[in-house]
């Protein structure tokens, strides 16, 4: 079952269970996927949105909500922060398990060795390989500086 089917099944189950908050989040996910499909059609791409793109969408949505949680907590709006955390929990159900720091370091070392990367000029190749293999499993905002550090030494 692909990601879109899993989300659709969860949406239908949330409707049956009358779980309003969960249903709302699942509808947001569905809307984001549909927006991406429409954008892809406008760009002339065929075949719809694949699992890798759905994972990227979900990762972006989770990251946006984590930033919102921080902002709400700093502003003293704990009720809104809790609402965002509930949305994150629903989104993360569809994301693969996040890699630990040790696993991320090993993945970076493996990618560098496999590609024979030697300098900072090879950073794009390394990041591309990591994104192809580990989409949704690591935060590439944190991984970029780690790759840069490894390649500059």
For residue 58, give the CATH number of its domain.
1.10.1510.10
pLDDT at 140: 82
* Structure tokens, 108: 């970076």
Is residue 134 domain-shared with residue 88, that is, in the same domain?
A: no
Spatial CB neighbours of 27, under 8 Å, sequence gap ≥ 6: 11
- Mark whether 12 and 82 lie in a shared domain: yes
Helices (H), 18-77: 20-42, 51-74
Same domain, 106 and 73: no
Domains identified in the chain, total number: 2
What average pLDDT score do residues 124-132 get?
A: 88
Q: How far apart are CA 1 and CA 150, in angstroms?
A: 38
Residues 87 and 105 occupy one common structural domain: no
Lowest mean pLDDT among 81-85, 87-91, 103-107, 116-120: 116-120
Residues 55 and 112 in one domain: no
pLDDT in tens, 8-59: 999 999 999 999 999 999 999 999 999 998 888 877 766 677 887 888 888 8
pTM exceeding 0.75: no
pLDDT tens per residue across span 67-100: 999 999 999 999 999 999 999 999 989 888 888 8
Q: Which CATH number do you get for residue 112?
A: 1.10.10.410
Quote the CA–CA distance of 56 and 43 in Å, as a whole number: 18
Length of the chain measured in residues: 153
Q: Looking at the structure, do residues 16 and 66 belong to the same domain, yes or no?
A: yes
- What average pLDDT does this structure show over 132-149? 84
Helix (H, G, I), strand (E, B) or coil at 80: helix
Select from 92, 119, 144 the last residue of a domain: 92
Tokens of 72: 């709400």
The answer, yes or no, to whether residue 115 has pLDDT greater than 70, is: yes
Same domain, 85 and 116: no
Q: How far is CA 2 from CA 5, 8, 55, 67, 86, in A?
A: 5, 10, 11, 28, 24
Same domain, yes or no, for 71 and 115?
no
Domain residues for 40? 3-92
């Amino acid at each position: 079952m692909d990601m879109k089917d899993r989300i659709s099944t969860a949406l239908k189950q949330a409707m049956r269970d009358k779980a309003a908050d969960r249903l709302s989040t699942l509808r947001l996910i569905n809307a984001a996927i549909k927006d991406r499909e429409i954008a892809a059609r406008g760009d002339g791409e065929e075949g719809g949105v694949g699992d890798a793109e759905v994972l990227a969408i979900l990762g972006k949505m989770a990251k946006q909500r984590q930033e919102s949680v921080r902002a709400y907590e700093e502003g003293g709006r704990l009720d809104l922060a809790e609402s965002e955390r509930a949305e994150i929990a629903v989104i993360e159900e569809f994301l693969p398990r996040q890699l630990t720091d040790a696993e991320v370091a090993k993945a970076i070392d493996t990618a560098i060795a496999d590609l024979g990367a030697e300098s900072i000029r090879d950073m794009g190749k390394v990041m591309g390989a990591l994104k192809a293999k580990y989409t949704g499993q690591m935060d590439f905002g944190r991984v970029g500086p780690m790759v840069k550090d490894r390649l500059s030494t």
